[in-house]
Structure 1
Amino acid sequence: MTARVTTPSTGGEAPVLLRTAGRAAHITLNRPRAINALDHTMVRRIDEALTAWEHDPAVESVVITGAGERGLCAGGDIRAVHDDVRDGDGTASAAFWRDEYHLNARIARYAKPYVAVMDGIVMGGGVGVSAHGSVRVVTERSKIAMPETGIGFVPDVGGTHLLALAPGELGTHLALTGARIGAGDALLCGLADHYVPSASLPRFVADLADLPVREVLERHVRPSPEGELAGQREWIDPCFAADTVEEIVQRLLDHGTPAAKETAETLLTKSPTALKVTLAAMRRARRLGSLERVLEQEYRVSCAALTAPDLIEGIRAQIVDKDRDPRWSPGTLAEVTDADVRRFFEPLGDRELGLVR
């Protein structure tokens, strides 16, 4: 079936490519050199497309994929955040997050099937534009993570909502460590719905032009490979159920399992402030319930991070200078006070996200 292009690209270099083919509309994130990292323009383009397709009776489903071989989306453009904070006042980053989080909420409530092809790397903001969808497909190549604590930040884009719903303390484990998981564990944790081998993806996507989503899934879904987390819950659940990060680390060290000890050592490389704020955000997310309320909380936390030292330092160490040696401030868990953590959750007044009225 001939595809009709919804929005023309400029020399094939537009950061988001939009087209329709038969029953399906397609979003292709098109920054392959950056593993399709999201910027503000891309978020706006996706939102505009969803508005148009929502009211187009010819469009029965929306499909999001990533250009290139490396993955759907590696996250937000954090170098831009670094530069915004270093050279400005963080206003541009706050505006980006505002629109991004509104988009995340919209995807979760979208009236038509939203099919996210989570092939390859899917991290941070990439989780936000995929894992809130109604049909989430992973492959044997999928590598999914919320790695924010490693850059002095906290899982956002509704990530704390999704991870808070994972079985036991698996979500707390993933939020604090930033660990990458594959298809089997993504299905276990509720971040994905279906497994399709990567070799079948071209046919899977093509079939959406002619068939209802349900029939396409019946044709292509296969049993997923086994994950790893189910077999590790005997130490993950009791260790990560602790009330403080310090106690989590101590339980991991005391457990005796090599994997638990390695996890403790991993945690101690992360931003102490980000770890404590993340644990508080996860516990609060369980009580808040709805995605919209959690996104409101995440926006407060994200805006507070713009005025804290660890975010710009973490991005510097991991992305800008790439020395992989961040100098966190405070440098230890013991130095991060309860007051330091509470500051991240303070209301923003007239700057609130505005999803909950």
Structure 2
Amino acid sequence: MLRTFRTAAKVSPSFVAQNRIRMVNGWLGARVNMSTTAAKDAPEADVLHRKHLSSRTFVLNRPKALNALNLSMVRNMTPQLQAWDASDLCKVIVIKGSGEKAFCAGGDVRQVVELAQNKKHDEALAFFAEEYKLNHMIATLKTPFVAILNGITMGGGVGLSVHAPFRIATEKTLFAMPETNIGLFPDVGGSFFLPRLDGETGTYLGLVGTRLKGIDTVYAGIATHYVPSERLVALEDRLSELETDNHDVINMAIEDFVSEPLHDHKYAISDNRNAIDRCFRFNTIEEIVAALEQENTDFAKKTLKTLRSVSPTSLKITLQQIREGAHLGIADCFRMEHQLARECLYGNDFAEGVRALLIDKTNEPHWQPPTIEAVDREQMLGQYFRNESPVPLELSSTTTYNEYPYRRYGLPTEDEIRSVVTGEAEGSGPLQLTAEEVADVLVKKSGGKIGVREKVMEVLSRKVSKGAEGELKWID
């Protein structure tokens, strides 16, 4: 069942009626009068800039390449984003992809590898440096930023969206960070957002590259809202009518378009969440592999097969970046990743992975060293993490933080749910709460956000037991 629009203040009856008609007719497409780019140039631009009332929109415009991010696109967006953020007329910034398949399927790594192989390492590194600078800018904007993840969202597309306060998934969303498969690591701020997901979910997603679809990205904490794609145009219209840049008001406007939870839907990794926490809590890949071997389930066997096929060096870099990123501010995470990218450009596996998977498409990369056991951890740490870059990453501002400032717009984390169960959270009441009462506390705290109750009940089904007096006890 899809949720109907609320008709609260700020939404006129005529506006709601018009939007319902658009939804019924499936009206999609762009309004030509929104574009600030001359009509003859718009089809050729790799990023379109649109202005409509109080909103400003980036449209990634390489649909044939699944809107893969290149340096030209980064340089197109960066100065415009700065200008919009400084403008009093701009109340909200939106980013989306053109075409039906992808928001942004990653970065144009083939060109980067070609530069490195031609000994143009500085030019290759410039792509990462300017991309990370843009990612950090998105993460620290004062203007509300809304990313619409309607389609494939991987790699570079994650960097353009996951640090935004508002991240909208649809039924077409397909998220993954598959960098270990090409000899790289989950960059674009992955060292910051992955360790801040529930339990060891981020470690698992970063190492294995598992894909999540649609509403599962909301349960995981990657997206903040789930809106059916047929409502997106109406949502964009609504955002453009707002006359405030208050984040809470923006959030309320988005919530008016959110779908009711899919009651027959089960979180894709729910059955394996406890196993993920058990196996991926270790600080070495060897220990993770040993834990999966001991698990001896179909999930563990499939996961082991993947871990043994991707770059062993990338696995060890990725695990270390996630562990270090958990204790770093977001600016320092980007600086760390810049250094890691520099070393990867001089190494074997990044170029080899791109060749095998993207150029020759043999899917048979020759990793060096070839096995997890052959990668010396201390040597890896010295080369990638303890070797200071001769040219440190320069960001556009010194703004940083250790936790996302707008985390409240997503579903509650498992830690927040645990604090209510144990009575540590303010307003949680006595310890003898039922599961429904725990959900009630968190639904109220969220202002009635759709999806909160469903996530709470899913988490409680895995993480609590009943004591002798019937009280809920959290299982660590």
2:9 corresponding residue in structure 1: none
Where do 1:301-316 residues align within 5 Å?
301-316=340-355
Q: Is the 8 A contact 1:162 1:190 kept in 2?
A: no
Give the CA deviation at 1:339.
3.3
Q: Is the 8 A contact 1:19 1:26 kept in 2?
A: yes
Give the CA deviation at 1:213.
2.7
Q: TM-score, normalised by structure 2?
A: 0.72
Which moves more between the two structures, 248-257 or 338-347? 338-347
Are positions 1:218 and 2:241 aligned together?
no
Partner SS for 1:72 = strand
Where do 1:178-327 residues align within 5 Å?
178-211=209-242, 213-225=250-262, 226-288=266-328, 290-327=329-366
Partner SS for 1:12 = helix
Q: Is the 8 A contact 1:124 1:156 kept in 2?
A: yes
**Which amino acid in 1 is paired with 2:310?**
K
What RMSD, in angstroms, separates the aligned Cα atoms of the two structures?
1.7
Q: Is the 8 A contact 1:2 1:22 kept in 2?
A: no
Quick one: distance in 1 between partners of 2:60 and 2:32?
21
Are positions 1:5 and 2:35 aligned together?
yes
Are positions 1:336 and 2:375 aligned together?
yes
Quick one: distance in 1 between partners of 2:338 and 2:70?
17
Change over 3 Å in CA distance of 1:4–1:204 after alignment to 2: closer
**Which amino acid in 2 is paired with 1:337?**
D
Quick one: distance in 2 between partners of 1:328 and 1:254?
26
Q: Is the 8 A contact 1:2 1:21 kept in 2?
A: no
Quick one: distance in 1 between partners of 2:365 and 2:100?
30
Which moves more between the two structures, 218-227 or 115-124? 218-227
Q: Is the 8 A contact 1:183 1:224 kept in 2?
A: no
Q: Is the 8 A contact 2:170 2:215 kept in 1?
A: no
**In structure 2, which of residues 81, 94, 98 is the aligned counterpart of residue 63 of structure 1?**
94
Larger CA Rg, structure 1 vs 2: 2
Q: TM-score, normalised by structure 1?
A: 0.95
Which moves more between the two structures, 195-204 or 321-330? 195-204
Task: Count how many residue pairs are aligned between Structure 1 and Structure 2.
Answer: 356
Which moves more between the two structures, 180-189 or 158-167? 180-189
Quick one: distance in 2 between partners of 1:51 and 1:279?
33
Q: Is the 8 A contact 1:74 1:125 kept in 2?
A: yes
1:150 corresponding residue in structure 2: 181
Where do 1:42-53 residues align within 5 Å?
42-53=73-84
**In structure 2, which of residues 171, 179, 187 is the aligned counterpart of residue 140 of structure 1?**
171
Q: Which runs of 5+ in 1 are unaligned?
A: none
Which moves more between the two structures, 244-253 or 302-311? 244-253
Deviation per CA, 1:243-284: give whole Å up to 9, x if none: 211221121122122111111111110000000111111111
**Which amino acid in 1 is paired with 2:147?**
A
Which moves more between the two structures, 185-194 or 293-302? 185-194
Quick one: distance in 2 between partners of 1:267 and 1:349?
29
Are positions 1:113 and 2:152 aligned together?
no
**Which amino acid in 2 is paired with 1:5?**
S
Q: Percent identity?
A: 38
Q: Is the 8 A contact 2:106 2:155 kept in 1?
A: yes
Give the CA deviation at 1:90.
1.9
Q: Is the 8 A contact 2:154 2:176 kept in 1?
A: yes
Give the CA deviation at 1:105.
0.8
Q: Is the 8 A contact 1:5 1:20 kept in 2?
A: yes
Q: Is the 8 A contact 2:103 2:157 kept in 1?
A: yes
Give the CA deviation at 1:96.
1.1
Partner SS for 1:132 = coil
Quick one: distance in 2 between partners of 1:218 and 1:268?
42
Change over 3 Å in CA distance of 1:213–1:2 after alignment to 2: farther
Partner SS for 2:163 = coil
Quick one: distance in 2 between partners of 1:228 and 1:29?
29
Give the CA deviation at 1:350.
4.2
Give the CA deviation at 1:4.
4.3
Partner SS for 1:19 = strand
Quick one: distance in 1 between partners of 2:145 and 2:321?
27
Partner SS for 1:20 = strand
Quick one: distance in 2 between partners of 1:346 and 1:308?
16
Quick one: distance in 1 between partners of 2:368 and 2:210?
23
**Which amino acid in 2 is paired with 1:181?**
L
Q: Which runs of 5+ in 2 are unaligned?
A: 1-30, 243-248, 399-476
Give the CA deviation at 1:224.
4.5
Deviation per CA, 1:67-86: give whole Å up to 9, x if none: 11111001110110121122
Partner SS for 2:326 = helix
Partner SS for 1:287 = coil
Q: Is the 8 A contact 1:116 1:137 kept in 2?
A: yes
Partner SS for 2:317 = helix
Change over 3 Å in CA distance of 1:41–1:272 after alignment to 2: same
Quick one: distance in 2 between partners of 1:224 and 1:87?
51
Partner SS for 2:207 = helix
Partner SS for 1:330 = coil
Q: Is the 8 A contact 2:42 2:48 kept in 1?
A: no
Q: Is the 8 A contact 1:163 1:189 kept in 2?
A: no
Quick one: distance in 1 between partners of 2:192 and 2:143?
22
**Which amino acid in 2 is paired with 1:254?**
Q
